Amino acid sequence: MEIFQSILLTIATAATPLLIAAVGELVVERSGVLNLGVEGMMVIGAVVGFAVSMQTGSPWLGVLAAIIAGALFSLPFAFLTLTLVTNQVATGLALTLAGLGLSGLIGELFVGQAGVRLANIHIPFLTDLPLVGRLVFGQDPIFYMSLILVAAVSWFLFKTRAGLTLRSVGDNHTSAHALGIPVVKVRYLAVMFGGACAGLAGAHLSLVYTPQWVENMTAGRGWIALALVVFASWRPWRVVGGAYLFGAVTIGQLHAQALGLGIPSQLLSSLPYLATIVVLVLISGNRRMTMMNTPASLGRPFVADR
């Protein structure tokens, strides 16, 4: 049973960055903006989080810096797509390319250095409980933040007035504008929130998952997070299911590699990417469900008439 617990623990660790980045992007898309720069913001979060914790010796400062860096790095995207009304797909791609380049440049100073790990929490007695102790009371702090984040986003979107405003902007920006809602301002805030989440997700990679810096260490997780939003049909709690499913696939293929079943390791490594495609096919094939849940203004440009 102890083995079972450790496997569940590693799955949670693999799922957490996907969950955080996807929930952030979910809020962005609910406001009607498609930001394909998740991968770029995430990798910036990873490198800044790592760099700041190395310099200060405090992983917590690293986490904070990664969140701020992610939010700031989303601003060029927000300025271009919201103020200058550029094509969201192309601008998001630009953000990803810029993020991968810039993180490589910053990270060059830290390649090969052993990092600082954000320690797991430990509550005397509770963490030491058999079977579930470590799973419930002994994980890394960002894991708990991820679940609180999902609950908070779900509550915000569906139980608060501000959340209703954000969704109305995403569903019909023309009507929202006519009602006096500051469409562009709402979207700026949503994009920055998404950036902050991607930054936090990146910090989890470089401070918990593998505490070191490797170039392109996000390895497509930002893109998988984008797919998870579609998978979850823009509903926060469904993202949890999707993220843990992917965590399980990732960990499963790692165990299969360790066992040496004679299956090429490259094939196993490509499973999370292929699983993403399969999941997208299964979800998107159901056209009516996708149509019903997709924010109606997603990706469409908005210019206020005067």
Partner 1 sequence: MIMLVKRPQHSALFSALSPFIAFGLTLIAGAIVFALSGQNPLTALYTYFVEPLSEVWSLHELAIKAAPLILIAVGLSVAYQSNNWNIGAEGQFIAGALLGSVPPVMFPEWQSVLTLPVMLILGLIGGALFGAIPALLKVRFNTNEILTSLMLVYAMQLFLDWMVRGPWRNPEGNNFPETRRFNPSAILPEIMPASGRANWGIVFAIIAAVLVWYMMKRTKRGFDIRVQGASPRAARFAGIDAPKMVFFAFMFSGALAGLAGISEVSGAIGQLRPSISPGYGFTAIIVAFLGRLNPLGIVAAGLVLALTYLGGEAAQISLGLSDKLARVFQGMLLFFVLACDTLIHYRIMFSARQAKGN
Residues that bind partner 1 (CB under 8 A): 36, 76, 80, 83-87, 89-91, 93-95, 97-102, 104-105, 108, 180, 219-220, 223, 226-227, 230, 264, 266-267, 269-270, 273-274, 276-277, 280-281, 284-285, 287, 290, 303, 305-306
Nearer to partner 1 by Cβ, of 31 and 91: the residue is: 91
Phi and psi, residue 101, nearest 5°:
-65, -50
Nearest approach, Cβ of 189 to partner 1 (angstroms)? 17
Nearer to partner 1 by Cβ, of 97 and 136: the residue is: 97
7: helix, coil or strand? helix
Nearer to partner 1 by Cβ, of 84 and 258: the residue is: 84
Nearer to partner 1 by Cβ, of 6 and 87: the residue is: 87
Phi and psi, residue 88, nearest 5°:
-70, -35
Nearer to partner 1 by Cβ, of 109 and 131: the residue is: 109
Contacts of 202 (CB under 8 A, 6+ apart): 17, 41, 42, 43, 44, 45, 46, 47, 48, 49, 66, 70, 218
Nearest approach, Cβ of 168 to partner 1 (angstroms)? 18
Nearest approach, Cβ of 143 to partner 1 (angstroms)? 26
Nearest approach, Cβ of 47 to partner 1 (angstroms)? 11
Nearest approach, Cβ of 74 to partner 1 (angstroms)? 13
Of 78, 76, 304, residue with least CA distance to 174: 304
| DSSP label at residue 296 | T
Length of the chain: 306
Nearer to partner 1 by Cβ, of 127 and 165: the residue is: 165
Helix axes 183-204, 161-171, angle to 10 degrees: 100
Nearest approach, Cβ of 73 to partner 1 (angstroms)? 11
Of 32, 52, 9, 6, residue with least CA distance to 202: 52
What's the helix, strand, coil split of the chain in %, to 5?
A: 75, 0, 25
